[in-house]
Structure 1
Amino acid sequence: MKVRAWVWAGWACFALQDAVADDSAVLLPEMSVSQTTSSLVAGNPSPQAEVSAQQIENINVINTEDALKYVPSLNIRKRYIGDRNSIISARTSVGAIPSATSLVYADGLLLSNLLGNSYSYPPRWSMVGAEEIEHVDVLYGPFSALLPGNSIGATVLLTTRRPQRTEVYAKAQAFQENFALYATDASYGGYQTQASAGLKTGNWRVSLLANQLDAHGHPMTFANTTTVKTGAGVVATGYQLDTDTTGAPRYVYAATSIDHTLQDTAKIRAEYAFSADTRLALTLAQFSNDAYSASSSYLRDATGNPIYTSTNVAVGVNQYIQVKASDFGVTKSDSLNRMLGLSFASKLTDTWRLEAVATDYGTPSDIAKSPNNGVSSGGGGAGTITYGDHSGWRNFDIKGIWQLAATRHVVTTGYHVDQYDYSSLKYDASSWQSAASITTLNTRAVGSTRTDALFAQDVWKLAPRWELTTGVRQERWQAFGGAYYDKSNTALNGSFASREQNYTSPKAALTWKASPDWLLRASLARAYRMPTVTELYGTQTDNAGNKTLADGMLRPEKVLAGDLTAEGVVGDGSARVSLFLENKADYIYQQKTSVAPIVTSYQNIGKTRVWGVETAYVGNDVGMPGLDVQASLTYTGSEVLEDAGHPEYAGRALAIPKWRASAFVTYRFDAVWSMSGGIRYATAQPSLDPAVVNPNTYGGTSGYTVADARVNYRFRNYLTAAIGVDNIGNEKYYAYHPYPQQTWHAELRIAY
């Protein structure tokens, strides 16, 4: 968001080169400048935004992803505090579900879970505590050869604080959401405690983080039906009547997926400086999650007792709806995640730097248990136990950066490799809470993908006012080891043949310093978003019989992206205007049937197009001392150009809001008091299904206008208290699931 610093840095570079070209220019004394910003930022020919640690202090941040609330064109699908499925939608991302079209890194280590492309595969935000963030950089589009094709949406680079001395930080937060929908009217809350410390001694820098979150979420789903049958039923009260996304009458009879989560994070990062220009860093992190998802029936029998069994409930004269015990689902899940990261950076000579980073992310334990008959099963009863152990990823990047001043070139070359391994084994169990009661294998899905890439990028100063960036990324993609078993449908069982394909992605960008205050940059790039392991092999069947069908022959998404950006000084701040265009072939789309049991299938759509304009402004001390403003407005158009499988889709808009906007204002009254407020706005997402006429309800993806506020008070230099509220107006809005309603925050922070 804070693009101003980068704009000034760019102008300074151009101005310095103009001065060098002028023999009469005065030579300044040599200066030494150090910074922790990734080289991906400095050399990336993309529109950019930034969030600083100071800005984060003025935002209601519980989970790390909250820091991105007001970044232009970004939406984080966070449904409640403690949500593990918070995925990113960027300006060209289709829908609120795809997760593999954006990237998240922390200190160069990959946090994006590219095992899949849905809400089930979000970035591992919990590996970073909000308290340890120094700044966040956001890059839009696949315009750098240094990044894989998953950058087609946005790339988020989290940089944590490097200790400069002995430092201690601690924070305690409490929160409460007031939630009312259908027959649910309750408060859901929790707390978070976070402590971090840093030590600098000699050549060592050591950072520690410990975090615990205990949160109760509101209901995520609601048991419902639109099917009314003829016949007699049991008299019951409590069901709610509304209309679904197609406008059909809908009976809602239970709140489900009511989550209680206990999350713990522990991390250590140790960095050793061999010299002023050479350092090695090791990161060890562990995240555990224990969660229980419950259901609450709205139905009451004639004696006032709740109904949790299979029942035909009367809804009219000789009419009934069929209620199943499995509708009142219960799930217990426990997972343990571990990350090992190693990074190395060295300035080998005055003109040559070497950087390398490796990540190993795994799940030593991942267990989900669920009864077949929901709440009625109580503590026992038959059910299923699913193991996702040993799924994870490993990746490695190494690059050399040559600064050739004599020829005005900066050349970066390197090698990338990644491997994603997926395993899901679901067993039937005679007692759903006991692993010892496992009987037979229900379903099994396994598989792996690997990508090897060579990349090169050259930044060439053509003239004092012109800069040309060219690059190419050559990738070899492999899919192997895929196999599936389903005891209920043996026709799907079998192994998948291995695949290997090669792809070339050229990139180019031209920058012109149009005036001392403005830059103009045109960028063009080809990129490939490879199918994920679960899109290829992750066929699944849930306890209700709903199926997700993978496709081992999916083709990669082929993207041609363009961007024209102007950025410069406006009044007391900086502004950016970006025109963007994305043509995509073989877009991987999730098609769902509308009648239970629901079948979701992955398929390639022929051709799509997305275009739009994004504007952003950042200003400090705007109009008066102490007033900081950041704002953005984005318009996006889209359409399906061609789809042989569904020709009726041609000409229809993709699931991208036409309008998105955000604004965030902070006013510092003095050194003690500050107040901030923000607004987030988006229009409803279109649907390819012409039957969807009512997006502003549960099951739809609605528009929204949400306002937030916060007040900070500093008692001492080291002690700060804050109180805030999100969704002041208690807006009810949805991304299929309901988003948070009015939520209050209280915080006490120590920084020493």
Structure 2
Amino acid sequence: MTSTLRPMAVAISLALTIHYAHADDEDPALQTVTVNSARSTLDRDLPNTSASKTQEELRQQQNIFNPEDALRNLPSMSIRKRYSGDRNALVGGRSFSTTQAPRALVYMDGYLLSNFLGRFDAPRWNMIAPEEMTRIDVIYGPFSALYPGNAIGTTIAITTSRPSGFSGSVRIAGQDQNYSQYGDHDHYRNYQASALLADKLASGLWYKLMINHQDATSQPMGYYAVNANAAGAFPSATGSGAATPVSGIVYDTNAFGMRRAIFGANAGAIDNTIQNTGKLTLGYDFSPTISTEALLAWWDNDSKTSNRSFLRDAAGNAVWSGKVSDGVNTFTLPASTFAPYTRDERHALLGLSAKTRNRSGWNASVNASVYRILDDVQRNASTSDPMAANGGAGTAVVRDGSGFESLDASINRAGDTHSLTFGVHADTYTLKQAMRTTIDWRNANGVETQYVGGETRILAIYGQDAWHFAPQWHAVFGLRAESWQASDGVQRITPGATVNYQRRSEQAWSPKLSVAWDADAGTTLRASFGRGTRFGTVAELFQGTAAGSSITINDPNLKPERSTALELSAEQRYTLGSLRASMFQDDIRNTIWSQLNLNVFPIVTNVQNVGRVRTRGLELAGQIDRLGIPGLSAEANIAFSKSTILENDNYLPSVGKNWSRVPRVRSATTLVYAPADTWSLSATYRYSGPQFNEINNTDYNTDVYGGVSRVRQLDARLLLKPAKGTELAIGVDNLNNNRAYQLHPYPGRTLFAEARYAF
């Protein structure tokens, strides 16, 4: 009952928005309250539903430690950010889960940040400092011809600051998380500092220098568990010799409703990550209508993990492996149960762009970027923490030289009745991944045991016409043609055979149509249709691996995902606010899915096509600048959706079941009280319903570790502006200390503090 009533509060907030907006319209003495905002970089004739946040809104409403935090309160958004500094903060949307990363495109000032080189490779958020974000825009669905086929889900455009004169800022932020699970309790602290320096010279040259440093430590991300069978009996212990009597084993029930035993935080559960980002952007305005820009960014990460055994012998010493017994059950823990790992990464981004800004006639723009993984080495120990500190055998995974490139070039002409855009897009993703056996796990020198690699390329051309064919009517026609190629796919196992995959190519045509009617000055109705094609990534096609107790089976013959999407939307704009309702359907053939099977050993992940998945939903979003009390404003959104597997010849038990990790209900409600320019207080309540991770929906016990649980979290923020250019903020994320999971645990109650000075 409680979980149902809380999302309903969002709908009530939306109803209040309508009520107060009408009331304010009737009183000419009331004035619109607006917040200064950065100009959107999106297409002005965008046929998609969109949602936006400006820098001012974000600073007033949210505690932002990493850039992806800016997305967490937007409609139909899921962000799988497990902890501050998480390099795998994945995006989920209306019809796709956070493990379907290739359905979300992320751009920074037009430069591609989407990383499709691995199953859990998230967008490269680390190339952005929260301090420099001026605006974030999210668009939904494949309705615009201007964006690649990966936009069948969600496209995120982040705009960073540009100088108009000499300026700069410094920012320091910190977090303290109070986390407890299975009787284990600790505080985990994070720190971040950033600085910006920028200027625009009379010659037309401008520059911006950004540096960012972060030191963050996660709460435990995973726990070693042994599952009982259906009768409640645990597997028999193996090995000779007597079992060590221990205390500390914790028993609970897993996501499948089966009894399990928990022994401690394992698999590099606690991650201490130290990250540094540096970025130099240079621009030059040749004239008021011609400008160019160059960008060079660098990011490095040094990550060290540790584990925590709950087991104690009679003397109180930690027990890390071997045969153990609590007097009720006896278990055998492998030597690698609590093995740590380290990871060192060095990435670079180079970007170039040029554009014209003629007031009439044709304009052109070119945007090119190269993203390179210069160094990426993960070193895995084979023994538990205390012994691993002295070295010993292990493995290493090396991805040096992997990366991606992107090119977008377009011309456009904005006329009185027709706005034309024509363009070309190209991108390439290259994977190079070697696995090695090492004598000393602390270095990566060793014998190569496996190598996987390959390349995908896309070349696309597109055209779009935004036609104002009547005073209150607006239509957008678009067509995108894409040619995809996969090549150089290889798996080499030593000793063993080398598999060279054949070159493949596919083509796709994606038509788009949107018609909008401005019923009056404040009302717009729109119907949109779009098709989009998302091709297999280099990881899905070629990245089959066997590492320890995990096996990934790739599929070089994957069919591309083909989306047919529909949306009906109505937007009402008032003097003091707005309200939008959107009904949507996304019907996808040959969904590409990586299914992780935790119930077998070794753990197996199969990459495969799912015949047909259809999502239908209703999304409501509204905001009001004044709620009766001076300085009080509100915004709210709620989305109801039903995502169903209609066809799946590869796994018939999944037909008719709910799709993975798409909740039935998602909502966020934010209240802001800002009675003066010098301070404000905000609070946000976020809700997401329970979800299934397994496509046969057998993981019904969702609100436990290993499940995809409900999220019910309250955030609060107090912002103070004691002097010009100075901002101080304190806040709490997850104030109610809601325990939530997306297989891994989400953070507990986290205190936040921030100081900023700008000049």
Letter of the aligned partner of 1:76 in structure 2? Answer: I
- The correspondence of residues 522-601 of structure 1 with structure 2, limited to 5 A, is 522-542=527-547, 544-570=548-574, 572-593=576-597, 594-601=599-606
Is the 8 Å Cα contact of residues 506 and 526 (structure 1) preserved in structure 2? yes
Q: CA deviation at 1:570?
A: 4.3
- Whether 2:470 is the aligned partner of 1:468: answer no
Which residue is 2:111 aligned to?
A: 109
Is the 8 Å Cα contact of residues 573 and 622 (structure 1) preserved in structure 2? no
Taking structure 1 as the reference length, the TM-score comes to 0.92
Which residue is 2:433 aligned to?
A: 424
Which residue is 1:21 aligned to?
A: none
* SS of aligned partner of 2:540: helix
Distance 2:509 2:236 in 1: 60
Q: CA deviation at 1:691?
A: 2.6
Distance 2:518 2:642 in 1: 29
Which residue is 1:269 aligned to?
A: 281
Which residue is 1:225 aligned to?
A: 226
Distance 2:718 2:194 in 1: 20
- Whether 2:382 is the aligned partner of 1:381: answer no
Residues 111-137 of structure 1, C-alpha deviations (whole Å, 9 max, x = no match): 111223x3x210111111111111111
Match of 1:57 among 46, 54, 59: 59
Residues 270-299 of structure 1, C-alpha deviations (whole Å, 9 max, x = no match): 111111111101111001000001111111
* SS of aligned partner of 1:219: coil
Letter of the aligned partner of 1:307 in structure 2? Answer: V
Identity of aligned residues (%): 33
Q: CA deviation at 1:611?
A: 0.5
Residues 293-321 of structure 1, C-alpha deviations (whole Å, 9 max, x = no match): 11111111222111123x1222445x412
RMSD of the alignment, in Å?
A: 1.5
* SS of aligned partner of 1:271: strand
Residues 566-586 of structure 1, C-alpha deviations (whole Å, 9 max, x = no match): 112246201111100000010
Which residue is 2:464 aligned to?
A: 457
Is the 8 Å Cα contact of residues 38 and 55 (structure 2) preserved in structure 1? no
Taking structure 2 as the reference length, the TM-score comes to 0.91
Residues 693-748 of structure 1, C-alpha deviations (whole Å, 9 max, x = no match): 21111111001210000111112111121110000010000000000100001111
Residues 513-557 of structure 1, C-alpha deviations (whole Å, 9 max, x = no match): 112210011110110011110000011222x32111111111110
Gap change, CA 1:571 and 1:633, over 3 Å in 2: farther
Q: CA deviation at 1:377?
A: 2.7
Gap change, CA 1:223 and 1:230, over 3 Å in 2: closer
Number of residue-to-residue matches in the alignment: 706
Which residue is 1:643 aligned to?
A: 648
Letter of the aligned partner of 1:510 in structure 2? Answer: V
Which residue is 1:347 aligned to?
A: 357
- The correspondence of residues 562-711 of structure 1 with structure 2, limited to 5 A, is 562-570=566-574, 572-593=576-597, 594-655=599-660, 656-686=662-692, 687-711=694-718
Gap change, CA 1:233 and 1:691, over 3 Å in 2: farther
Letter of the aligned partner of 1:614 in structure 2? Answer: E
Which residue is 2:411 aligned to?
A: 400
* SS of aligned partner of 1:100: helix
Match of 1:252 among 249, 262, 268: 262
Is the 8 Å Cα contact of residues 339 and 388 (structure 2) preserved in structure 1? no
Gap change, CA 1:270 and 1:470, over 3 Å in 2: same
Is the 8 Å Cα contact of residues 92 and 582 (structure 1) preserved in structure 2? yes
Distance 2:38 2:686 in 1: 32
Is the 8 Å Cα contact of residues 41 and 139 (structure 1) preserved in structure 2? no
Distance 1:177 1:49 in 2: 30
Which residue is 2:521 aligned to?
A: 516
Residues 564-616 of structure 1, C-alpha deviations (whole Å, 9 max, x = no match): 11112246201111100000010011223312210101000111100100011
Which residue is 1:22 aligned to?
A: none
- Whether 2:211 is the aligned partner of 1:207: answer no
Is the 8 Å Cα contact of residues 380 and 433 (structure 1) preserved in structure 2? yes
* SS of aligned partner of 1:431: coil
* SS of aligned partner of 2:705: coil
Q: CA deviation at 1:233?
A: 2.9
Which residue is 1:11 aligned to?
A: none
Q: CA deviation at 1:192?
A: 0.5
Which residue is 2:295 aligned to?
A: 283
Is the 8 Å Cα contact of residues 259 and 291 (structure 1) preserved in structure 2? yes
- Whether 2:323 is the aligned partner of 1:320: answer no
Which residue is 2:248 aligned to?
A: 238
Which residue is 2:21 aligned to?
A: none
Distance 2:575 2:636 in 1: 14
Distance 2:697 2:350 in 1: 47
Residues 80-123 of structure 1, C-alpha deviations (whole Å, 9 max, x = no match): 11111111111111x3322111111010001111223x3x2101
* SS of aligned partner of 1:699: coil
- Whether 2:435 is the aligned partner of 1:411: answer no
Distance 2:594 2:543 in 1: 13
Which residue is 2:40 aligned to?
A: 37
Gap change, CA 1:690 and 1:162, over 3 Å in 2: closer
* SS of aligned partner of 1:325: coil
Distance 2:695 2:451 in 1: 32
Distance 2:429 2:505 in 1: 15
Distance 1:531 1:548 in 2: 16
